[in-house]
Structure 1
Amino acid sequence: MNDIQTIFQAANPVLNQTPYPMMILNAEGIVVAWNRQAEKTFGYASEEIIGNFTPFIEKEKENFYKGLWQKIIHSVDSIQLDSMALHTKKGESMNVPIIFKSFTIENSRFVYCQFLLISAEQREIVSFNEFSSIREGLESSFMMLSIDQEGLITYANDLFLKYSNWTPKRIIGKSFWQMFPQAADGSSIADVIWKDLQNGKQWKGEVEKITKDGQSYWVDLIAIPIYTSAKVLSSFLTLENDITEKKRLQNRLEKIAYIDQETGLMNRYRLEQIVNKMISNNQHFTFVYFSIDKFYSLKELYDNQAEKIIFQEFTQRMKMYFQDSSMARVNINEFVVLTPLGEWFIQGFLTYLKQHPIYVNNTILPLSISGGITKYPDDQISFTHLMKASHATIQKVQAEGGGSIVSLTKADHKALHTKSIIEKRLLVALDKKDLKVLYQPQLDLKTGKITTVEALVRWDDEEIGTVAPDVLIPIAEETGLINDIGSFMLENACQQAAEWYKKGIDIKVSINSSVREFRDKNMVKQIRKILEETGCPAKLLRIEITEKFALEAEAEASIIKQMKQLQNDGISFVLDDFGTGYASFRYMQLLPLSQIKIDQTFVSSIQYQPKSQKLVQGIIQFVKSLNMRVLAEGVETQEQQDLLAEYDCDAIQGFHVSHPIEASEVEKLL
């Protein structure tokens, strides 16, 4: 609903009290207001009339009225027709005297039409007095101010005086700007409103105002330029509704939503808003990221109350040291300070903490922090990249023992820049499907045949060249693009397996999957859909998961459920890189695994190290006891193949069998 409609709607109660049938038309002759007396007289409900041309004028007289309409719309004075032939909704004809009066609202012309179905004495008196009632209706609904062209107040209604605590004598002649807070924000919004009014534009929005006593209150304000009949800007009108309670509630909700309750600092979501606003205003600042080192070890040393003391005392020291800076808690033991201060001062925080130690149970807490300094716009140019750069710096500091605050080195800048480019190019590659799939054959040691191939993603970008999988996959996981890569690989692998199957080549295709993909509850549905669309039998698909995946899946029933559904369809699951992840065998009981892959780190040394030989033998025997197959990867020599065959390994994969190759090359090996 636009603001003119709002004004007419607000005037409806007044118009309905008018004892005469009346309507208001816009310059195109469309009805914008229709009162209750008109409904009764002509039988048309307001919903049938408003927004349409008047339906009760005789068709044969429309041309005559078109000429009359142009005269009415441009006339300064009222125009009266002694008789006009009209029709009711029931089809009854009636001759009705009408008074027309044109007027202007926000540079738009309207015509007030009053049907004089009253006595002759009244007709001589009535002209356009009812419009005073419209103003009365607005005054009873809104706080109202009239302002002259100099910005001085010429009139304030009772509602405005009530809310603002001004008296009629005191407010007349006061400046429009004096109604707003005198701080920079208040003056700025008043300037914006005034500029729009001076340009003949209407302004609408929520603004803060102040009472005569300097108390703050909030209003929903409409500011309207008023024109004379000669289209000359004469004055301005403001209509206001009090929304102070709404704003107070909003502020309370924002405090709950954006403030960390334990420390009183803003949270990560509010921090992002503040940073984005500073960036949009092109403000230079330093983004300082702090992490309390070995926090969980500290927690274990003290009782439950210690955690609360640590955070409150640490927060207090940050506030004391970084005065006039913005601070946030972004994780349980991680904080951010936005400051214009220099690097030497920021690093001095470590000395300050030593000089002002935190005590728990009358004992000094051995507190150590790691910090990363990232500058906008010198180092990074977005909130996301500021956070990523900070995480990279913190990880580097903590890997070196923690307890220091550092800024990005040239090497860090280069690595982050490269990573940023890869992220952008990966989006383009996924959109254009520029990724490629190679297949690495797996040799069955019992039959000597290639029975399975592992589908591996490869990416050669036209701008940045070849991106190695060990670079691509971590970035894809971090950005959430791993799901898109997974979908791409699944579709291509199933399509290739189906093509081989149609040729009579019964070869399985194995793909790698992440726990992130299986957290999508539609994963089963998606895989089934792709199998159906490509015509690939489910028995030809194998899904490889890591030990980290297995450990996380162990704690999530929904993932296990999806895996079992797919196993029932005929899909088999393989545990990849066995022995390099987490030492837990519980997931081998819970998950529907049919095969494990011994990691190449164990295979590479079995020719020379007796311990490696015994370890590999032990793994094979253990897995066989669970009725699962064993595949060894990273096999590069005939000697390794012979030893693995001797240990009863089922299959091998590695450069000795084949490098990753095109699908057409696979067929030559069969």
Structure 2
Amino acid sequence: MTTLHEQHDLDMPDVRHSLDHYYMVTQTDAEGLVLSVNKNFLNVSNWTPKRVLGKTIWQLFDEDEKAQNTIHHIWTQLQSGKTWFGTAQKQKRTGEPYFTNMLAVPSMEEDGSLARALFLELDITEDIRLKERLEQIAFIDIETGLMSRHKLESLVNDMIREEKSFSFVYLSIDHYYTLKELQNGTDETELTQAFANRMKRYFQDNPIARIGSSQFVILTPFGDWYVQGFLDFLEQQPLYIGSEALPLSISGGIVRYPEDQKSYVTLLEAAVMTLDEVRKQGGGKIVSLSATSHKVLNRRSLINRKLLTALDHKALEVAFQPQYDVASKQVKVYEALVRWEDEELGTVSPDELIPIAESNGLIANIGEYVLSEAARLAVRLEEQEGSPHVSVNTSVREFSNHPMKENMLSILQTEGCRPGQLELEITEKFAFRAEEEQSIIQQMKELQDAGVNFILDDFGTGYASFRYMQYLPISKVKIDKVYMNSLVSHPKTQQLVEGMIQFSKTMGLYTIAEGVETQAQFDLLVSMGIDAVQGYYIGAPVPAEKLHIRN
């Protein structure tokens, strides 16, 4: 080790040898002047003994403000007798920056003042450079050269912190895949690159991101008139693939910061909602967030803010809706439905509450609460003739982010409820995720083995319901209430519902119709062979204490 004077602190040969072998080692005096460095330090930093000895430790750090603040903080720690560990940006003799993981250790005098400081470092420059390259890849859409979704979020958050006003413009190419097919198999990359080039030409210096195969976001300080002018620009400057002009239709939504929404998540959510409204009206337009959508989003935001407090204060309630078994002419199941009555919000329905709880991570808390209430009712029902079961809606988040099987069995044990007394209802969205995650299916099968039945809810609304029945442990299906409104008046609806009932029977599945509100609907479903019905015709959801249960 190169030194100005004899070393006292590192007088154990084995320790000195190990440090010299693995680390860059630097030692300074109480003023921060370099007393000694080892060969590893010289090799990495390109300093020579003659030039480095006697310099201050500050001169070995990069000259930028962040690096200088780091060494100032390190030195303050050392003077107070504390060690420091972290990443430091240093400077080679040539001025080139490099990065190290650094441990700084003080050696103190008897009076508590700093005597010397020892710096042990590992060169991590290559790791930092690799991370920067990976971030560059993550922040750039390779096909178009536009920003990625990750970079967009980072940029929007920076602009919000700097309190910059801007419009968040969400654009989508209508009928994207159909358009490619019409163009005789047009290459997807060619199409998106051509469209990206048009956006770059029109919006010029405004940041543009590609966040989906045919979805893009522009951040611009200009008003609606400027953004909507892009459609006129596309008419004057159409896209050509080969020699053919594409019949391009663009839909979009404009949301303003800070007037409309105040975070990246809510800006994106509002823009998507606006785009959906445009699509429902036929597409081909770029419009601003409507007053109705603004109201809906504000309500969602309020629900999101108040939900945790509502859980803490036990403001949520569980109501139970009866399900009538046609064969036995008895109520065989009660479905547990979470309710929230709030002074400011009014009634918050499950359809409104559950998606918000899924997005903010509180769905597991709600699920545990509902399961506990359902288990308590199931224990009371055990004493009744026929032992009606209780069904509970469950979210895929409860299975994928939490050990649902263990949680559920623990709750049942606490409440003294047999697993066979409860049923779990899953949606098509749940089934789709279960297909991707084997651990979800495994938990479902283990719960089924314990006695829990699974019901596929909203049957008939998804494109792949039939496929799910092949591998998920489903014993019942619920025909969605959307079919009930036209069941009596539309023959095609009748044929469809009867077909679903007969299909379910061939699969050995118990079939339930939900949303039944009239005698005519009930009679028609019974004639079709339905197993059970649920809806206001049978009974409205009510709290457990209002159910007619013998004690």
Match of 1:323 in 2: 204
* 8 Å Cα contact 1:208-1:217 kept in structure 2: yes
Q: Does 1:632 align with 2:513?
A: yes
Alignment root-mean-square deviation, CA: 4.9
Q: Does 1:563 align with 2:462?
A: no
Match of 1:445 in 2: 326
Q: What SS does the aligned partner of 1:452 have?
A: strand
For 1:598-629, what per-residue CA distance to the aligned partner results, in whole angstroms no more than 9, with x for missing partners?
44444455556666556555544443343333
Closer, same or farther in 2 for the Cα pair 1:336/1:207, shift >3 Å?
A: farther
Closer, same or farther in 2 for the Cα pair 1:192/1:626, shift >3 Å?
A: closer
Q: What SS does the aligned partner of 2:540 have?
A: coil
- 1:525 deviates by 3.1
Whole-angstrom distance in 2 between the partners of 1:38 and 1:558: 49
**Amino acid corresponding to residue 450 of structure 2 in structure 1:** D
Deviates more, 1:355-364 or 1:303-312: 303-312
Match of 1:366 in 2: 247
Q: What SS does the aligned partner of 2:548 have?
A: helix
* 8 Å Cα contact 1:285-1:338 kept in structure 2: yes
Aligned 1:497-536 pairs, distance under 5 A: 497-501=378-382, 506-520=387-401, 522-536=403-417
Number of matched residues? 528
For 1:472-526, what per-residue CA distance to the aligned partner results, in whole angstroms no more than 9, with x for missing partners?
2343344454444333322321232124336787220011223444445833333
- 1:668 deviates by 4.3
Q: Which has the higher contact order (CA 8 A, sep 6+)?
A: 2
- 1:208 deviates by 8.8
Closer, same or farther in 2 for the Cα pair 1:14/1:506, shift >3 Å?
A: farther
Match of 1:488 in 2: 369
* 8 Å Cα contact 1:636-1:656 kept in structure 2: yes
Whole-angstrom distance in 2 between the partners of 1:557 and 1:187: 50
Aligned 1:380-391 pairs, distance under 5 A: 380-391=261-272
Q: What SS does the aligned partner of 1:137 have?
A: strand
Aligned 1:420-439 pairs, distance under 5 A: 420-439=301-320
Closer, same or farther in 2 for the Cα pair 1:354/1:641, shift >3 Å?
A: closer
- 1:542 deviates by 1.4
Aligned 1:261-300 pairs, distance under 5 A: 261-300=142-181
Q: What SS does the aligned partner of 1:429 have?
A: helix
Q: Flag structure 1 segments of 5+ consecutive residues without an equivalent.
A: 1-9, 25-32, 40-45, 47-102, 108-133, 144-157, 169-175, 224-238
* 8 Å Cα contact 1:607-1:640 kept in structure 2: yes
**Amino acid corresponding to residue 172 of structure 2 in structure 1:** S
Match of 2:504 in 1: 623
For 1:425-479, what per-residue CA distance to the aligned partner results, in whole angstroms no more than 9, with x for missing partners?
2232234442111111122333332221111111112432211233223433444
Deviates more, 1:446-455 or 1:189-198: 189-198
Q: What SS does the aligned partner of 1:436 have?
A: strand
* 8 Å Cα contact 1:370-1:394 kept in structure 2: yes
Q: Does 1:105 align with 2:34?
A: no
Closer, same or farther in 2 for the Cα pair 1:385/1:599, shift >3 Å?
A: closer
Look at both structures and tell me which one has the larger radius of gyration over its CA atoms.
Answer: 1
Match of 2:54 in 1: none
Match of 2:352 among 445, 467, 471: 471
Whole-angstrom distance in 2 between the partners of 1:37 and 1:646: 91
**Amino acid corresponding to residue 360 of structure 1 in structure 2:** I
Whole-angstrom distance in 2 between the partners of 1:247 and 1:592: 48
Aligned 1:153-172 pairs, distance under 5 A: none
**Amino acid corresponding to residue 473 of structure 1 in structure 2:** I
* 8 Å Cα contact 1:373-1:406 kept in structure 2: yes
Q: What SS does the aligned partner of 1:277 have?
A: helix
Closer, same or farther in 2 for the Cα pair 1:505/1:663, shift >3 Å?
A: farther
Q: What SS does the aligned partner of 1:565 have?
A: helix
Q: What SS does the aligned partner of 2:260 have?
A: coil
Match of 2:235 in 1: 354
Match of 1:152 in 2: none
Whole-angstrom distance in 1 between the partners of 2:182 and 2:342: 51
Closer, same or farther in 2 for the Cα pair 1:457/1:196, shift >3 Å?
A: closer
* 8 Å Cα contact 1:139-1:159 kept in structure 2: no
For 1:285-322, what per-residue CA distance to the aligned partner results, in whole angstroms no more than 9, with x for missing partners?
33222222222222333466621112222233333333
Closer, same or farther in 2 for the Cα pair 1:456/1:104, shift >3 Å?
A: same
Whole-angstrom distance in 2 between the partners of 1:612 and 1:668: 37
Identity of aligned residues (%): 44
For 1:160-190, what per-residue CA distance to the aligned partner results, in whole angstroms no more than 9, with x for missing partners?
9x779xxx9xxxxxxx99x989xxxx68987
Aligned 1:108-127 pairs, distance under 5 A: none
Closer, same or farther in 2 for the Cα pair 1:242/1:462, shift >3 Å?
A: same
Q: TM-score, normalised by structure 1?
A: 0.65
* 8 Å Cα contact 1:603-1:616 kept in structure 2: no
For 1:345-393, what per-residue CA distance to the aligned partner results, in whole angstroms no more than 9, with x for missing partners?
3332223333333221321222332233223222222221222122112
Q: Does 1:258 align with 2:160?
A: no
* 8 Å Cα contact 1:369-1:404 kept in structure 2: yes
Match of 1:137 among 30, 36, 48: 36
Match of 1:545 in 2: 426
Whole-angstrom distance in 2 between the partners of 1:629 and 1:383: 45
Whole-angstrom distance in 1 between the partners of 2:277 and 2:193: 27
Whole-angstrom distance in 2 between the partners of 1:381 and 1:356: 35
Match of 1:594 in 2: 475
Whole-angstrom distance in 2 between the partners of 1:542 and 1:392: 34
**Amino acid corresponding to residue 387 of structure 2 in structure 1:** D
- 1:209 deviates by 7.5
Match of 1:116 in 2: none
Closer, same or farther in 2 for the Cα pair 1:421/1:106, shift >3 Å?
A: farther
Whole-angstrom distance in 1 between the partners of 2:434 and 2:224: 44
Match of 2:25 in 1: none
Match of 1:454 among 320, 335, 341: 335
Closer, same or farther in 2 for the Cα pair 1:303/1:534, shift >3 Å?
A: farther
* 8 Å Cα contact 1:372-1:407 kept in structure 2: yes
Closer, same or farther in 2 for the Cα pair 1:359/1:488, shift >3 Å?
A: same
For 1:563-601, what per-residue CA distance to the aligned partner results, in whole angstroms no more than 9, with x for missing partners?
333222222222333334436533334433333334444
Match of 1:59 in 2: none
